[in-house]
Amino acid sequence: MIVQDIRDYSRRELEELLPPLGEKRAHAAALFKSLHRNGARTIRDLAGVPEKLKDKLSLRYSITPAPVEEKQVSWLDGTIKLLLKFHDGAVAESVVLSAAGRTAACLSSQSGCACGCAFCATARLGLKRSLAPHEILDQFSACLRAAGGRLDSLVFMGMGEPFLNWANVKKSVLLLSDGLGRNFPQSKMTVSTVGIIPVIDELADSPLKINLALSVITADAGQRAALAPMEKKYPLREILKAAGRYCAKTKRLVFLEYILFGGLNDSREDAEKFAGLIRGLPCTVNLIPYNRSGVEDFVPAQPEKAKEFKRTLMARGIRTYLRAEKGSDIGAACGQLAARRSD
Ligand code: SF4
C-alpha cells in the first residue's frame, strides 16, 4: 500500500484533514510550518504537534524525503547537477546555476518526458511518471542545500513538461510560496512549456504570479513539427496567440526560448521570420545555443551567427539575451538531462 506523503497537502487541506481525526484545525499551522519551513524528515520529528496527533498521522501518512543519489559539479563554471531517486526507483535531475552573484535552481516536473523533442536527451528516456508535489519540494531542498542556503529564483525547466503535470506543479508552487513554509516568492518562479495551450489559458486566468516561458525552439512550423512533435497538436501560431491572451490578462510579459541550431535556424532570414511572428507580443527572448545531447544530427550555432541573430532581433526592438552555455561538461545544460550516472 502506498502511504500518502503528508507534504503533498496544502495548509487548507491540512485544516480539513484534522477534524475527521478528532483533532483541532488550529494544529494545521504548526504542522505545515514544521513540514515545510523546518523540513521535518519523519512524523515523529514534527515540532509543535501533540504526540497524540503524531500517532494518528503516522498510521495514515508518511514523510519520504528522496536521497540525492549523485552530485556532479562542473569544473567549467561551478554548475551543480543533482540526481534524486524516489521511493519506486524513478529518478529526476535538478540543476543549480550561478551567474553574476545570483543563483537559480532548475527543477524537474516529471521523471523522463513524453514529448519526444528530437534534440533533447530527456526525450530518449520516455516518460517514467509525473512527480508528486513533495518530490518537487525534495528537489528544491536539495538545490537549496547545494547552493549553500540561498536561491534567488526557480525555473521548472528540467526533465518533463510541467504543463502535463500541472496539478502537481501548481501545488508545489503554492506549497513553496506559502508564508508559513519556504515563503519563496511566486514572482521569482518561472514555468517553461513547449506550449500546452489549455494550461497557458488556465494560468492566465489564475491568481498565480509565476512567470511563463515558452519553448519556441524555432519559428518555422514545419521545422518545429520535426523538432518538437507537440507542434502538431499545439501549433506555434496558436501558442503565441495564447501567450498574447496571457500577457493581456496578467499584465506580465512572456519569455520566449529560441534554440539556435547551427545551419538550421540561425540565419538572418530566420531571425527576421521569428521577429515577424512575435511582433507586438510583450516578451523577452532568450537565445539558447543548442547544447550537444548525443544527437548527432544537430550542432550548435557558431558564436558569430548567434550574436548576429541577437542583433537582428534587437534592431527590431525585441529585448533579447544570448544565454551562455552552463554545465555542459556534466550534462546539465538545457536539453541534456538524461539521468545518466557519471560512473
Ligand atoms: S525539451 Fe522539454 S518538452 Fe521536449 S522532450 Fe525535452 S523535457 Fe520534454
pLDDT digit string (tens) for the chain, length 343 residues: 568 999 999 999 999 999 999 999 999 999 999 999 999 999 999 999 999 999 999 999 999 999 999 999 999 999 999 999 999 999 999 999 999 899 999 999 999 999 999 999 899 999 999 999 999 999 999 999 999 999 999 999 999 999 999 999 999 999 999 999 999 999 999 999 999 999 999 999 999 999 999 999 999 999 999 999 999 999 999 999 999 999 999 999 999 999 999 999 999 999 999 999 999 999 999 999 988 776 668 898 999 999 999 999 999 999 999 998 788 787 777 777 777 766 5
C-beta 122 within 6 A of ligand 1: yes
Query: What's the gap between Cα 303 and its chain centre?
Result: 27
pLDDT of the residue at 207: 97
With H, G, I as helix, E, B as strand and everything else as coil, classify residue 17: helix
CA pair distance 334, 279, nearest whole angstrom: 26
Q: Where in the chain is CATH 3.20.20.70? A: 68-330
* Phi-psi map region of 123: left, alpha, beta (phi>0 left; psi -120 to 50 alpha): alpha
Protein residue whose Cα sits closest to atom 4 of ligand 1: 117
Which DSSP category does 68 fall into?
E
CA pair distance 258, 208, nearest whole angstrom: 25
Q: Determine whether 51 is an active site residue.
A: no
pLDDT of the residue at 337: 78
Distances in Å between the Cα of 113 and the Cα atoms of 50, 160, 194 are: 42, 4, 12
Q: Residue with C-alpha cell 530527456?
A: 122
Architecture of domain 4-62 in this structure: Orthogonal Bundle (1.10)
Q: Residue with C-alpha cell 557558431?
A: 302
Q: Determine whether 143 is an active site residue.
A: no
Report strand pairing: 80-85 vs 68-73: antiparallel
Assigned C-alpha cell, 8: 503533498
**How many CB atoms within 10 Å of residue 323?**
16
Is residue 10 within 8 A of residue 178, CB to CB? The reply is yes
Instruction: Judge: domain 68-330, CATH 3.10.20.30.
Output: no
The model's pTM: 0.95
Report the 3 state secondary structure along 300-327.
Answer: ECCHHHHHHHHHHHHHCCCEEEECCCCC
Q: Which atom of ligand 1 is nearest to the CA of 193?
A: 3
pLDDT of the residue at 93: 96
Q: 147 CA to middle of ligand 1, Å?
A: 25
C-beta 160 within 6 A of ligand 1: yes
Q: Where in the chain is CATH 1.10.150.530? A: 4-62
* Phi-psi map region of 295: left, alpha, beta (phi>0 left; psi -120 to 50 alpha): beta
Is residue 310 within 8 A of residue 287, CB to CB? The reply is yes
pLDDT of the residue at 83: 97
Q: Annotated catalytic residue: which of 15, 23, 93, 231?
A: 93
C-beta 300 within 6 A of ligand 1: no
CA pair distance 28, 20, nearest whole angstrom: 13
C-beta 333 within 6 A of ligand 1: no
